[in-house]
């Protein structure tokens, strides 16, 4: 029998469900919500906007008392470390006739925002802030918005979602088309469709009509996060005693499971067993059988579907036969840290051949002993990725801030230890 585990609720879905519940007049109930710091940041700012949200606690059902329209906040809205919270919140605020300031921690204040603020300004929102509106803190004055037809320069779920939510809150049609990089995750589209909103796709354009549906109170269960599952699947492949692993109740949205194709090419056998759907999201189990690790190539077309898993895929690449190449991954430089640079630097520090040139990362695997200190810059995915690599035989590493894994995966280190029976 495979070792069985579960993972915390999906972070992307938790953000979006909390936001939609906050705008649904009445009382909604959400089970399985992620309780990590990023999700708590979203809940906190929604409370400041007038929604009633019970504490996010492990095992508890979250109750949301929604409002049809938000109220002006009295203090700046602090999104902590969450880029998703900040960018989607800007979209929601664009349709409200008051001013609000959005900010975050030091890491979030370094991340680019113009990709969201420029199209929101084209809709009629007034935005002022650091670096001509490209950095938090930003002050946004929403109100009467204009319809928008916007071709995104690159594929981005956060930009796409922010614009769709601006259309929802401002009650104006929005059409968006994804740019370079293919199709990003579609949680917002699925969630809106579950409330009856029309989002037809015509020649690559997503056309959103906010008059076609209606938000109302709901009850739901958030599925497990496939990005969190990826770290445990990788650990099962790398462990001192590689073993079969089943992870139950995971979101199987095809825009989120691109990493499965990559680890299959790397040698794993992975089966998916769908169990049903919730709010348009397919849910089921992942069952992995480890295999001999082989290098692979990750083309630009795959990157939007694996962007959060690239750190752990790079950790796997460090133990594969051959050189793994990640193409067009420059977006990693503006995540919670310069993930691209830190991945290469930390891998080289351990003794792995790794080069980040432009938007490309190359990692040549080795089965030799590896040792060193991992500098995470407080980035949760770097901490978890190198924690996974530390499970490989012959690897002796120390992660400088293991606690930052709690940003997205409370209990990660306990789950990792269970794979080795520790």
C-alpha 162/C-alpha 46 separation (Å) is: 15
Structure token digits, residue 250: 């995971």
**Closest by CA position to 209, among listed 177, 164, 178:** 164
Could you say which of 10, 38, 186, 308 is catalytic?
308
Determine if the peptide bond prior to 186 is cis (ω within 30°): no
C-alpha 187/C-alpha 351 separation (Å) is: 39
Q: Using CB atoms within 10 A of its CB, is residue 68 exposed (0-12), middle (13-18) or buried (19+)?
A: exposed
Instruction: Please give the full DSSP string across 201-261, using - where no structure is assigned.
Output: EETTEEEEBTTS------EEEPPBPHHHHHHHHHHHHHSSS---EEEEEEE--TTT-HHHH
152 and 120 Cβ atoms separated by less than 8 Å: no
Confirm whether 308 is a catalytic residue.
Answer: yes
Q: Map residue 151 onto helix, strand or coil.
A: strand
Q: Using CB atoms within 10 A of its CB, is residue 332 exposed (0-12), middle (13-18) or buried (19+)?
A: buried
Structure token digits, residue 157: 């779920």
- Residues that are catalytic: 308
């Amino acid at each position: 029998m495979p070792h069985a585990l579960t993972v915390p609720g999906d972070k992307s879905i938790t953000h979006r469900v909390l936001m939609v519940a906050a705008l649904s007049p009445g009382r909604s109930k959400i089970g399985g919500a992620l309780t990590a710091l990023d999700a708590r940041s979203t809940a906190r700012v929604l409370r400041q906007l007038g929604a009633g949200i019970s504490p996010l606690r492990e095992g508890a059902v979250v109750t949301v008392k929604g409002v049809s329209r938000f109220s002006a906040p009295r203090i700046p809205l602090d999104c902590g470390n969450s880029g998703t919270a900040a960018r989607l919140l800007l979209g929601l605020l664009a349709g409200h006739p008051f001013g609000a300031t959005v900010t975050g921690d030091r890491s979030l204040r370094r991340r680019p925002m113009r990709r969201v603020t420029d199209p929101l300004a084209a809709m009629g929102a007034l935005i002022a802030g650091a670096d001509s509106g490209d950095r938090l803190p930003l002050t946004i004055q929403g109100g009467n918005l204009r319809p928008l037809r916007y071709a995104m320069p690159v594929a981005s779920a956060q930009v796409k979602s922010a614009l769709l939510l601006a259309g929802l809150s401002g009650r104006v049609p929005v059409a968006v088309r994804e740019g370079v990089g293919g199709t990003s995750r579609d949680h917002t589209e699925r969630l809106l469709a579950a409330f009856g909103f029309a989002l037809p796709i015509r020649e690559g354009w997503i056309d959103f009509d906010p008059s076609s549906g209606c938000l109302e109170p709901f009850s739901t269960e958030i599925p497990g996060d496939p990005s969190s599952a990826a770290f445990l699947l990788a650990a099962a492949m790398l462990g001192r005693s590689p073993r079969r692993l089943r992870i139950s109740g995971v979101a199987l949205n095809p825009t989120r499971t691109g990493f499965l194709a990559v680890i299959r090419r790397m040698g794993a056998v992975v089966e998916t067993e769908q169990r049903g759907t919730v709010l348009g999201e397919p849910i089921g189990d992942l069952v992995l059988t480890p295999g001999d690790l082989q290098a692979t190539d990750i083309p630009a077309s795959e990157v939007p579907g694996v962007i959060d898993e690239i750190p752990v895929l790079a950790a796997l690449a460090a133990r594969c036969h051959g050189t793994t190449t990640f193409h067009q991954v420059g977006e990693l430089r503006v995540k919670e840290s310069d993930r691209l640079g830190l991945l290469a630097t930390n891998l080289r520090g351990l003794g792995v051949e790794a080069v980040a040139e432009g938007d490309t990362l190359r990692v040549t695997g080795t089965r030799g002993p590896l040792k060193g200190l991992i500098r995470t810059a407080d980035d949760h995915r770097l901490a978890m990725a190198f924690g996974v690599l530390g499970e490989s035989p012959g690897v002796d590493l120390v992660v400088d801030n293991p606690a930052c894994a709690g940003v997205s995966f409370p209990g990660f280190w306990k789950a990792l230890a269970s794979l080795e029976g520790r």
